[in-house]
Structure 1
Amino acid sequence: MLSSQSAVLIRATLPAVGGAIGEITPLFYRRLFAAHPELLRDLFNRGNQATGTQQQALAGSIAAFATMLVEHPEQRPDAMLSRIAHKHASLGIRREQYPIVQEHLFAAIVEVLGAAVTPEVAAAWDEVYWLMANALIALEDRLRTQAEATAGPATGAQAAAGHWRSWRVIGRQQETAEVVSFLVRPVDGGPLPTVRPGQYVSVQVELPDGARQIRQYSLSGQSDEALRFTVKREAGTPGPAGEVSAFLHRHAQVDSELRLSPPFGDVHLDEAGEGPVLLVSAGIGCTPMIGMLGHLAATGSTRKVITAHADRTEQSHAFRSELAQLTEKLAAAEAHVWYEQPADPDWPAERTGLIDLTALELPAGTTAYLCGPLPFLRAARSQLLTAGLPASAIHYEVFGPDLWLATTV
């Protein structure tokens, strides 16, 4: 909880800091990378830095956290903190990096706001920073401990590798022209980590310029001996926006070795639940959903399962056949697909165009999981709220920096 003295100062200066945060965060990153270029090379997503989405996400999370502290001091934005902590844990971020961030962030604040940042104001914002940082550090430590416990005992090369573990590609499947799935097995022969359906792994690759860039990819399935993750080749190639996906598409062949993190992600199937499940996706957002659906089928679930997917065409729809096969295996499942421009002349008109979740009959007690582009998520969530689903029953995953959650906590 924020001290009463700091709360007064934060409330008074929040409009000024919030109004300048769009100027502060780019300056912060420039200062940080000038002092520590290895962080941009080997940790931060160069694509998100190039587009500015990481700056927007950081700005939104800081402002949202500070606002919560002064307006709702009895609460904590756990959803936002959990999402950030899972991402940090998957990247291998450590507690000793937080003071580095603090140093350059506060230098940027002082440079932008100047004399308005008195020693008292600086101390109040320092308190906000460390409340947020310490909460994240505790969550990340807990997540890493859980990941280590579920991966089994580490020995030899696996123990020496620490966070990153070497995996061998034992299968490669071209799902569509732009989407490839990789089946991977640990090189060390050790056990697979425990996976919650819907989670992702970080994949670290060494690019031609020597940078070790990291991206997160959803786990789209698993067997007793291997995990499957799926990669869409991103637009913007060549360039930082799609450099890792393009590298994997070109170079990750059968028998290649890749470095993966343990599975993380706060949006995953509640396996203990017994109520109806709604899986909603658009485009490559189908990857965590097919993972959830595959788990439900593999475990012989009798839950009511409704899948709703939106795509451009039949050809761009990854896992189209697998969706039908898994739906057939489940005792009480149905799948609904919308195509914006279907090639099939007999494709039903009511499933042409944008997805319409209000057309579905949703049983009482339905829990919804959503994944897709941010505009799609906003529209889908709005439709589900209109249909009567409570906000607490709607969970979503967005690929890349979450520009929505920080503004809605």
Structure 2
Amino acid sequence: MLSEQSTATVRATLPVVGGAIGEITERFYAGMFAARPELLRDLFNRGNQAAGTQRQALAGSIAAFATYLVDRPDERPDAMLARIAHKHASLGVTAEQYALVHEHLFAAIAEVIGEAVTPEVAAAWDEVYWLMANALIAIERRLYDEHGGAGFREWEVVERVAETADVATFRLRPADGRPAPDFRAGQYVSVQVELADGARQIRQYSLSAAPGSPIRQFSVKRVHDGASPDGEVSNHLHARVHVGDRLHLSAPYGDLVLGETGTGAGFETDAPLLLASAGIGVTPMVAMLGQLADAGHQGPVLVVHGDGSPAEHALRADHEGYAGKLPGASVHFWYERHTGRAAEAPAFDTTHRTGLVDLTDIAVPKGTRAYLCGPLPFMRAVRAQLIGKGVAPADIHYEVFGPDLWLAQEG
């Protein structure tokens, strides 16, 4: 809880700091990377830095957290904090690094805001920072304890499958022969690769198989602009990683999960669900459908997906196959154009439409819990339609590939 004195100061200065937070975060990253270039090379995503999306996500999270402290003094934005903590843990962020962030962030605040940063203002925002940082450190410590510590483990590629022209699925087993740790459907792993320039870049990929398998499976969509930092890892994986090669994977992380155990136990078997995805966002949804099928879920399940065409629909056979095992499932696919595999017979009765995902004519049962994954415009549109149909905002959960630019809207 923010102290009474700091609450008043933060409330008074939030418009100034919030208005400048974009410039503050830009200078923060520039200063930190100048002092510690290895962080950009081996920890931070160079693609997100080049695009500016990481700065936007940091700005949004700081502003959202400060606003939450001021407007809801007796609460804490646990959903937002958990999402950030899971991403940090997948990267191996340490408690000591928060002091480094503090040093460069507050130097940037003083540089941008100038004389308005009085000792009182500095102390108030320092309190905001450490409330957020200490909450994240505590969550990350618990996550590390669950997995026996931070860090990466070596895995061997045992199979590679071309799902589409631009999506490859990699299946791996632990290289050391020890058992694979449990995971929950919807979670992701960080994959670390060494690039040609020596950088050890890290990207997150959702696990696309149901829990319980000793094999890890994730699918990678190639970013065609491979010359930019945004596509350097996906192109490396597509071009250079084959059966017998080894990759470094983190433990599984992520809070977009069904139930509390990742095995179906503890999850109401008759709860109505909606699993909506677009593009490569299908990966966690396929894992969730596999979990539901294994758990014998009996309730209604709306399966919604949008893609460019049937030929671009990665994991389509699994998507339809798992849904076909659920007695209460109905499947609705939208394709911008019907080319490639359009003539193939689906695994069971599947509704195909042309265009973008539109839930206008889809009946959504009362009490539905929705899980979304895909590009932000898609998720925002689906979320708005679901709220319009009476789904509670608290029952709509999402996963973002990359920096979470939706953080400031959460709560």
TM-score w.r.t. structure 1 length?
0.93
Do structure 1's residue 256 and structure 2's residue 245 form an aligned pair? yes
Cα distance, 1:389 vs structure 2: 1.1
2 CA distance for matches of 1:349 and 1:175? 21
* Partner SS, residue 231 of structure 1: strand
For 1:114 and 1:287, locate their aligned partners in 2 and report how far apart those are by CA, in whole Å.
46
Match of 1:400 in 2: 402
Q: 1:126 aligns to what?
A: 126
Cα distance between partner residues in 2 of 1:349 and 1:44: 41
Determine what percentage of the aligned residue pairs are the same residue.
60
Letter in 1 for 2:268: G
Q: What is the Cα deviation at residue 350 of structure 1?
A: 7.4
> What is the CA distance between 1:313 and its match in structure 2?
0.6
Equivalent residue number for residue 49 of structure 1: 49
Deviates more, 1:240-249 or 1:112-121: 112-121
Equivalent residue, structure 1, for 2:283: 287
Amino acid in the other structure paired with 1:60: G
Matched ranges for 1:330-341 at <5 A: 330-341=326-337
* SS in structure 1 at match of 2:147: helix
CA distance in 2, matches of 1:20, 1:87: 25
C-alpha contact (below 8 Å) 1:277/1:305 kept by paired residues: yes
**1:181 and 2:169 matched:** yes
Asked if the contact 2:208/2:286 (under 8 Å) is kept, the reply is: yes
The match for 1:213 among 201, 223, 228 is 201
Cα distance between partner residues in 1 of 2:229 and 2:80? 26
Alpha-carbon contact 1:61-1:407 (below 8 Å) kept: no
**Cα 1:73/1:28, change in 2 over 3 Å:** same
Q: CA deviation at 1:250?
A: 0.9
Shifted more, 371-380 versus 342-351: the winner is 342-351
Post-superposition shift, 1:361?
Answer: 2.1
Deviation at 1:45, TM superposition (A): 0.5
Per-residue Cα deviation, 1:255-285 (whole angstroms, up to 9, x for no partner): 1100000000011122322212211001111
Question: In the alignment, what sits opposite 1:89?
Answer: 89
Distance in 2 separating the partners of 1:68 and 1:106: 20
Question: Which of residues 181, 193, 199 in structure 2 aligns to 1:193?
Answer: 181
Correspondence for 1:327? 323
Greater alpha carbon shift after TM alignment, 45-54 vs 321-330 = 321-330
Work out whether residues 10 and 124 of structure 2, in 8 Å CA contact, stay in contact via their aligned partners in 1: yes
Counterpart Cα distance in 2 of 1:114 and 1:392:
39
CA distance in 2: counterparts of 1:4 and 1:192, whole angstroms: 48
- 2-structure distance, mates of 1:146, 1:303: 31
- Is 2:366–2:390's contact at 8 Å kept on the other side of the alignment? no
Q: Is the 8 A contact 1:235 1:241 kept in 2?
A: no
Q: Matched residues in 2 for 1:388 and 1:101: separation?
A: 41
Kept after mapping to 2: 8 A contact 1:80/1:406: no
Q: Any conservation in 1 of the 2:332–2:351 contact (CA below 8 Å)?
A: no
Q: Which residue is 1:117 aligned to? A: 117
Question: Cα deviation per residue 1:236-259 (whole Å; 9 max; x = unaligned)?
Answer: 212200111111111110011000
Taking the aligned partners of 1:390 and 1:142, their CA distance within structure 2 comes to 29
Which stretch has the larger CA shift, 111-120 or 53-62? 111-120
- How many equivalent residue pairs? 397
Give the match for residue 268 of structure 2. Answer: 273
Q: CA deviation at 1:345?
A: 8.4
* 1:349–1:134 CA distance, 2 compared to 1 (3 A): closer
296-305 or 205-214: bigger deviation: 296-305
2:213 matched residue in structure 1:
224
Letter of the 2:252 partner, please give it.
Answer: P
d(CA) in 2 for partners of 1:278 and 1:89?
A: 28
**Partners of 1:12 and 1:325 in 2: how far apart?**
56
Do the aligned residues in 2 keep the contact of 1:279 with 1:289 (CA within 8 Å)? Answer: yes
Q: Does the residue aligned with 2:204 lie in a helix, a strand or coil?
A: strand
**Does residue 102 of the first structure (1) align with residue 90 of the second (2)?**
no
Q: Does the Cα contact within 8 Å between 2:332 and 2:352 map onto a contact in 1?
A: no
Displacement of 1:312 in angstroms is: 0.8
The one-letter code matched in structure 2 to 1:172 is R
Residue pair 1:199, 1:267 contacting (<8 A) in 2 also: yes
Q: Do 2:189 and 2:253's aligned partners in 1 also have CA atoms closer than 8 Å?
A: yes
